Chains A and B, each alone.
Chain A
Amino acid sequence: MLELLENLGKTTRSSFAKLGRGTFFLTHILTGISEVLPRPSLLMKQMYSVGVLSFLIITISGLFVGMVLGLQGFNILSDFGAEESLGVMVAASLVRELGPVVSALLFAGRAGSALTAEIGLMKATEQLSGMEMMAVDPIKRIISPRFLAGFLSMPLLAALFSAIGVMGGYMVGVGMLGVDDGAFWAQMQANIDFREDIINGVIKSVVFGFVVSWIALFEGYDAIPTSEGVSRATTRTVVNSAFSILGLDFILTALMFGDI
């Protein structure tokens, strides 16, 4: 019993210590961003590996999610004779929820895990330490550009996901199931509010981009520098990112759309 309490205490203490390290790490990254901006080539390279390489998975997933929404929505809505609302349904679910959330989950799996593994391996092969000995701050030189790239890419990826998802819903709803073209768009435009829906969705994706990049880079930087340590850190990135995304999504949704 005493042992259990002792273990619990230890775990709690170490998770607080980790949060503390993470926060310190974050402030360090943020101060480094001012040094990234004058060197766009550093950012370009990371935008490529974080953003461009996630493009395909995001757009293809977006297309299929939109098509599925079109099919399922049509089945439900046609029971009430409200097929014209298909556009609203597809667009609202994508813009408010699925766009930011699913693209952030995919982003964590595609780009986040890659970032963790990359940083973890750089630590394991003493590249970070070597850089420190060359009087180059590895957080500012290596981590900050990656953070900025993740933070900037996420809203763009989420927007792509939603936009392509709506097209997928249109293809299925209007193209295959015969919903009226005009009604599809008119209902959508009448009911999706720019500030309430679109801007809030973008805010969500900005928050997710920030959090996922932070988690991924910190797990890599904090990893135990062995192959097992790096592989564990990669897993933690995906798991912790997923928890954070879904938890934050609830909080943000409650703040934005809820009456709580």
Chain B
Amino acid sequence: MQHSKTQDTLVGLFVASGIAALFYMALQISNLGTYTSNDSYTVIARFQNSGGLKVKSPVSVAGVRIGRVSSISLDRESHESVVEMRIESKYNNIPDDSGASIYTAGLLGEQYISIDPGSSEEFLKDKSKLDITSSAIVLEEMIGKFMLNKAEGK
């Protein structure tokens, strides 16, 4: 068979650029570059209402993302929302009396957990619980209350 060098070279270039594109997608487009799934610890918080919080919602301190929500479940007795989050282990100095609140990024944006650092000398460890929590603000509820107040104030 006539073996064409240029053809082989072009095929090589094609395959190389395809693989480069795959790497590009993995590292530049996705979160693989910031993946730290192994080096993390779990913290649990209970909320009256976790609103629109979802698995993978960000967990942040002072606006810096330090982890993600890993599971959301319902406590069958207290009817509270039990939220587990994985926090990257390099952030190992969060005081154990910190509080967790659910906020919304912008008016219509996604919901996230913000941790307000406390003043304790003890730090959060794996399976620690956050006791001070404030629930998600549900927009409809707020509007409802506002309308009610208006109506009563009249």
Contact = CB atoms under 8 A, between A and B. Distances in A.
Interface stretch (A42-50, A210-218, A223-231, A234-242): A42-50
A91 B29 contact: yes
Interface stretch (B1-9, B86-94, B115-123, B125-133): B1-9
A193 B24 contact: no
Contact of B14 (A55, A188, A198): A55
Contacts of A166: 25, 28-29
B26 A198 contact: yes
A194 B24 CA distance: 11
A185 B1 CA distance: 48
Nearest to B13: A52
Given A48-B10, A52-B11, A80-B108, A159 B18 contact: yes
Given A156-B21, A163-B25, A193-B30, A52 B106 contact: no
Interface residues of B, number: 32
A192 B30 contact: yes
Interface in A172-214: 185, 188-194, 197-198, 201-202
A45 B31 contact: no
B58 interface: yes
B109 A82 contact: yes
A81 B106 contact: yes
A109 interface: no
The listed residue with most A CB atoms (<10 A of its CB), out of B10, B14, B20, B34, is: B14
Interface string A141-175: 00000000000010111011011101000000000
B36 interface: no
Contacts of A190: 31, 34, 58, 65
A51 interface: yes
Does more than half of chain B's interface fall in helix, strand or loop, or is it mixed?
A: helix
A63 B106 CA distance: 31
A41 interface: yes
Interface string B91-124: 0000000000000001011000000000000000
Contacts of B19: 156
A95 interface: yes
B56 interface: yes
Contacts of B26: 194, 198
30 contacts: A44-B11, A45-B1, A45-B7, A47-B15, A48-B10, A51-B11, A51-B15, A51-B18, A52-B7, A55-B17, A81-B106, A82-B106, A155-B22, A156-B15, A156-B17, A156-B21, A159-B18, A159-B21, A159-B24, A160-B18, A160-B21, A162-B21, A162-B25, A162-B29, A163-B29, A189-B28, A193-B30, A193-B31, A194-B30, A201-B25
Interface of A: 41, 44-45, 47-48, 51-52, 55, 80-82, 91, 95, 153, 155-157, 159-160, 162-164, 166, 185, 188-194, 197-198, 201-202
Given A52-B14, A156-B17, A162-B21, 4 more contacts: A156-B19, A160-B18, A163-B25, A188-B29
